[in-house]
Amino acid sequence: MVLATNLGFPRIGVQRELKKALESCWKGETTQQDLIQTGQTLRARHWLLQKNAGIAHIPCNDFSFYDQMLDMTATLGAIPSRYGWDGGNVDLDLYFAMARGGSYQGRAVTAMEMTKWFDTNYHYIVPEFEKGMSFKLSSTKIFDEFAEAQAQGIAARPVLIGPITYMVLGKRKDEGLSWGDLVAGIMPVYVQILQKLHQMGAAWVQMDEPCLSTDLWPEADEPYQQVYTQLAQAMPGLKIMLATYFDSLREHNAWVLSLPVAGVHLDLCRITGRANSVVNDPQQMLDAALAMARDKVLSLGVVDGRNIWKNDLSVSLNLIDHAVQKLGSDRVFVAPSCSLLHTPVDLAQETKLDAELKNWMAFATQKLQEITTLAKGATQGRKAIEVQLQAANAAQQSRNQSTRIHDPAVSARQNAITLDMRNRQSPFAIRQTLQHSALNLPLFPTTTIGSFPQTAAIRKLRADYKAGTINAMVYEDGIKKEIKAVVDFQHSIEIDVLVHGEPERNDMVEYFGEQLKGFAFTQNGWVQSYGSRCVKPPVIFGDVSRPAPMTVKWAQYAQSLTQRVMKGMLTGPITILQWSFVRDDQPRSTTAMQIALAIRDEVQDLEKAGIRMIQIDEAAIREGLPLRRADWVDYLDWAVDAFRISASGVADKTQIHTHMCYSEFNDIIRAIARMDADVISIETSRSQMELLDAFVAYKYPNEIGPGVYDIHSPRVPDTTEMVTLLEKAVKVIPARQLWVNPDCGLKTRGWKEVEPALKNMVAAAKQMRAKLAGSAAA
């Protein structure tokens, strides 16, 4: 029979129980034992949910207190030397020190670097490899959780990050480290893990190797063949499901399907060119795999693990039936395209969502039902799932025919986009001179990325207004008080360019989506971004336009409180696109251009209102880059165009900023330069300014603000530390081009961290000005 299987389930809990437990533990309000108990409760609930849904292969070890890559680092004992690890089992104190920095064993330590997980908005902790590092089994987490599942009658399938993906995503911190030696070093630990799991009764193990969906180096098949041959020989009785996802195998298809594993998982939802097309040809990809499958099980990822639209069961069943005809039912599994980590937990929690829209959607819990329905239909025939097929077909028809989706005015405006709308009036060199004269800022101008701490009082104010317990006047007075307090604080520490702190905003994407046509919102559609950080992506279901100004009122009020420059703060079109659940009935590029036109209107209105500096955050532009280089040019063309359309409707003396989150910039630096933002701020502190190298090598001409402190950690860096980072920067970037700012927005931090950190940052900038003045005088 065709089996219903799953690759992973959201770990945060339907009411974000994990987030709340983590933050309570970190604040010292609860104990680590309380946190551990919350984890056990969530795992038990999620396993039972999957069992009751009819999932045959239920994943375990997909749960994490922070990140699955960090879990693998702890399991392998790949602990950087700065933590002074004693070689014992990695406990939660060390685990969270690596994730967040802070204090460990009485000394201050920095966090490990964090970056995006392929082309998602999930972040992982980057492994660090040093000379002299040895590997050993240093965590029992995977065994403990497998035993937990067994005790509850769950025949679980343990999940591990595959050894090649783990190594490829890590960083070699010292020269002379051999990649091959590192792989050889971790393999005995992997063998030990599999041996113990087999002894405990595991029948299958899932090895996640998403790197197989990317461009690999020549002869990449050799290390994969060596690694999986070693694992197969060490544990011949244990079946390995090699999980690939986020794109198709393409040229890797033949050799991947020749690896000595029992099964291969294929993502049939996100395949070649998906970045800019609604559909491609999963049939073609499946046929290529079927031709090479030999005696393997094929796991078909036909239910989208990264979006919230209801599955077209008839289309998916056609693919499954085709595979069954070729392989037989015992060699076909039905699965989500990837872990369901990237989708919200349960649509049933959405009691206020528009009924028509809700009927078009499926969250993780509903996707389990889709998987089991498809497996049942493939095994017992379509008659056995006739009711479900009729309901799915009706939902597809309703969505296709809805008049809410298409707006002729939006299409007409998009068709009228001209080349001039993509370009500023003058080249950067001219704009820079005009801006320096108009803004009159010192060298090393200081600013922040936008948001300030979102206190409990701010959240309550917004919640009360939304619930109708306070009126608009009370709400607006409260927001004005918060803005004034933030402006006064910035005055007191002498920050050069101010922000209003964004107290009115719940989220940098949701806030804008709530004011744009074509968007819908959920109550509990949370997904994990990193650690305890959860986001609630908007749903783009139709054509996008801006009915009215979104930020002008608050920006004007903030500017009225100061003679200094006040930045207007917007989220860019690609970030809004990437951090939303996007309609899949038209190219993503079309939706991006619609958003770009809406943001362009807002930029122009801010300028008319007297705002001389406007930041358009594109935190996710690198994240949206397709996994294969062959697809990059197309994506970067329309992504850069979207930004330029949003930013180019202003005068030369209006300064346009952008901000980008943790990313490797080397491979897209030309595209970043083509965006032609006057100033770009980037996250560089965790990498000790390494990420600045791309801008140096390219001779990036515009201005740049390399982040000087890590806002994702509670640790407060001192002035000396920030000066050291700025000294590194000024060696490679002219001082005239440098800005001084944190890595990212301050929304998730507390005032007790933000106040001293920003004071130290301003002091660091002043020291740099004094040093430069002293050097000039000398």
Active site residue ranges:
712
Amino acid 20 reads K
| Distance separating alpha carbons of residues 570 and 680, to the nearest angstrom | 14
| Distance separating alpha carbons of residues 265 and 102, to the nearest angstrom | 39
| Distance separating alpha carbons of residues 117 and 305, to the nearest angstrom | 14
10: helix, strand or coil: coil
Residue 157, burial from CB neighbour count under 10 angstroms (0-12, 13-18, 19+):
buried
Helix (H) or strand (E) holding 497: strand 497-498
Number of neighbouring beta carbons within 10 Å of residue 148: 18
| Distance separating alpha carbons of residues 521 and 357, to the nearest angstrom | 10
Instruction: Report DSSP letters for 256-313, one per residue.
Output: HTTSS-SEEEEESSS-TTGGG-S---HHHHHHHHHHH-TT-EEEEEEE-SS--BPP-H
Give the strand pairing for 539-545 and 517-520: antiparallel
Helix (H) or strand (E) holding 18: helix 17-26
Residue located via tokens 């089996």: 3
Token pair belonging to 286: 């499946």
Helix ranges (DSSP H) in 300-347 = 313-327
The DSSP output letter for 153 is T
Token pair belonging to 410: 């939006």
Cα dihedral: 145, 147, 153, 155 (round 10): 70
Amino acid 415 reads N
| Distance separating alpha carbons of residues 744 and 711, to the nearest angstrom | 6
| Distance separating alpha carbons of residues 499 and 487, to the nearest angstrom | 7
| Distance separating alpha carbons of residues 140 and 189, to the nearest angstrom | 12
**CB of 689 within 8 A of CB of 721?**
no
Q: Whose CA is closest to 402, among 229, 543, 560?
A: 543
Alpha carbon of 362 to those of 129, 167, 185, 317: distances in Å? Answer: 41, 34, 43, 17
486 contacts: CB under 8 Å, gap ≥ 6 = 452, 499, 500, 501, 503
| Distance separating alpha carbons of residues 645 and 643, to the nearest angstrom | 5
Give the strand pairing for 156-161 and 539-545: unpaired
Residue 686, burial from CB neighbour count under 10 angstroms (0-12, 13-18, 19+):
buried
Give me the numbers of helices (H) and strands (E) for the chain, helices first please. 27, 25
Number of neighbouring beta carbons within 10 Å of residue 237: 7
